[in-house]
Amino acid sequence: MIPKLLLLLSVLPPPNYENSLSAAAEARTDHLISKNRIKKAQVFIKNFRKHVTDDARLTYEHGLTLRLLGDFEASEELLLSAIEQDPTLAQAWYDLGEVQLLTHNETSALEAFKTAAALSASHPNGWAAPFRLAEIAGKNQQIGAFESWLEKAIQRGFSFENVVQGNPTWGSFLEDPELGDILLRLITVYGDESILENWQAP
């Protein structure tokens, strides 16, 4: 009699070899980035895409490395290509927004971040796009949008302690009469009031 586990394995399809290769390359690129070996990550993913296989996520990874290296034009081209291949790739939309902010295209960046926010509601880092949208709204004195996006970021796991503390931009928000009132209320409800002592306006 064949054991049930062996019987189950015999009817399961084998793992997709190409998908496994892509996942490993993605993990390798992310590991190099986490070690701040950005140039090596860029060379690795470029060669992998050229000589092994390619897909939307690998195109995104290549675009990310170029953003981190400061080649914004080439990065934007690759991020747009990744989105064309997979319009649901939230991280590509997010990094596209970052690139467009860096190249002073705030209108397009807002749309990219909004798309990323809509696509990442259940992602562990799903707070990131709403956080950036709150920051942009704060800089533009859009009080209602600032509060709305910040609350959404909090609902998705945003932490005042880990992200905002010591940030001069958010320190200046705290000094602003309207933005400061919102921050004080939200920190009191959702955060640790002691972090207020560590914030300083520029």
- Inter-helix orientation angle 72-85/90-102, to 10°: 150
pLDDT per residue as tens digits for the range 140-185: 999 999 999 999 999 999 988 767 666 788 888 988 999 999 998 9
Q: What is the pLDDT of residue 139?
A: 96
Distance of alpha carbon 45 from alpha carbon 39, whole angstroms:
10
How crowded is residue 195: how many other Cβ atoms within 10 Å of its Cβ?
16
Report whether 139 contacts 169 (CB < 8 A). yes
Report whether 120 contacts 126 (CB < 8 A). yes
Ordered domains of the chain (ranges, CATH): 20-119 (1.25.40.10), 125-202 (no CATH)
Work out the end-to-end distance of the chain between its first and last CA atoms, rounded to an integer number of angstroms: 74
User: What integer best gives the mean pLDDT of the chain?
Assistant: 88
